[in-house]
Amino acid sequence: MRGNNSMNNKKNKRQNNKQITKIEDLNWKQINKLNRKKTIFYQPISPLEIHGPHLPIGTDLFTSKDTAAEAIKKLQEKKPELNYILLPAIPIGYCKFATDFPGSISINSKTVRDVIYSVGSSLAEHDFRYLIICTYHMAIPHLKGIYQAMKKLQKKYNMKICEPWGPYFYSDKIEKNEPKLGFDTSKEMHAGFRETSLMKYQYPYLVDESYKNLQNIYRDLNSPRVIGKKFKDLGLKDGYVGSPSKADVNYGRWFFNETVKVYVKSTLDLYDGKKQDELPKKIKAAMKALFWS
């Protein structure tokens, strides 16, 4: 029995370590050999943005690429007949409101749109059809750029393309599914309990210990009243919203795996031609009302 178990463990380990295919490692002949109907690309994209005095500016970028990579590992086991190709993470996105701290790099939303469109059309010109956009940055102008590009790609190339995290994040599903904690996590808007937990799970050595002493600070960053304002205008002198001191590595693990699950489900639905979850109406309306910035 013991022998068997250890053999199974070894086998599982080998499967889990199965390499992820990164596009930059391939030559064009290898790419050309990929079955167009069975190849799915992943494009992680999120800006470098300050996340309080305790988390790295790469928090959103790390999360988008790590969850994409983990989803690919899961899918390779679940549906090994498809090819999953990871594109290099693009460190851009709109985060103007956070640029009153050094380290935030905001790229306007039209540029985000043009970059996503360029990536998608370059693939589509060679008849690749499946593309998953992985972003962990949920600012409306950033999403506007992504969704406009997706619309254009669907129209021009009939591309099967989706951004899975936005519709999940802006629904009430996190609060419904998460472990019960006894406080309102929907107020954890930026570098608070959720993201600090996430980074404690993924990159504990990049979390500054000072998070334990940070005061709880709450602001509604989705309120129309904050449009055009930067963090410091809202009294956020350290650049976070929520309660980072409550951070918990187990919650971080749950949150990470939940994101992975959403990517896995969206990929399978996209491949099967099922309808994707959409952004809620109020988010779509906000996106529409927004001028390009």
Q: Which residue is nearest to Zn ion (CB)?
A: 60
Residues that bind Zn ion (CB under 5 A): 59-60
Nearer to Zn ion, 120 or 244 (CB): 244
- Cβ proximity to Zn ion, 39 vs 106, nearer residue: 106
The nearer residue to Zn ion, 60 or 163, going by C-beta atoms, is 60
CA distances from 175 to 126, 206, 225 (A): 41, 27, 25
Minimum CB–partner distance for residue 10 and Zn ion (Å): 38
CB of 190 to Zn ion, least distance (A): 6
Short-list 48, 45, 50, CA closest to 230: 50
* CB closer to Zn ion, 84 vs 170: 170
Exposure string of 254-290, with b = 16+ CB inside 10 Å and e = fewer, is: bbbeebbbbbbbbbeebbeeeeebebeeebbebbeee
Query: Least separation, in Å, of the C-beta of 202 and Zn ion?
Result: 12
How far apart are CB 101 and Zn ion at their closest, in Å?
13
Q: Which residues pair with 86 in a beta bridge?
A: 22, 42
Q: Which two tokens stand for residue 76?
A: 């390779």
Q: Where are the alpha helices (DSSP H) in the chain?
A: 2-16, 28-33, 59-78, 109-124, 140-157, 165-169, 173-177, 193-202, 249-271, 281-289
Question: Which of 160/229 has CB closer to Zn ion?
Answer: 229
Give residue 266's region: left, alpha or beta (phi > 0; psi -120 to 50): alpha
- What is d(CA 21, CA 41) in angstroms, rounded to the nearest whole number? 10
Amino acid at 281: K
Nearer to Zn ion, 60 or 66 (CB): 60
Cα 211 to Cα 98: distance, rounded to the nearest angstrom: 19
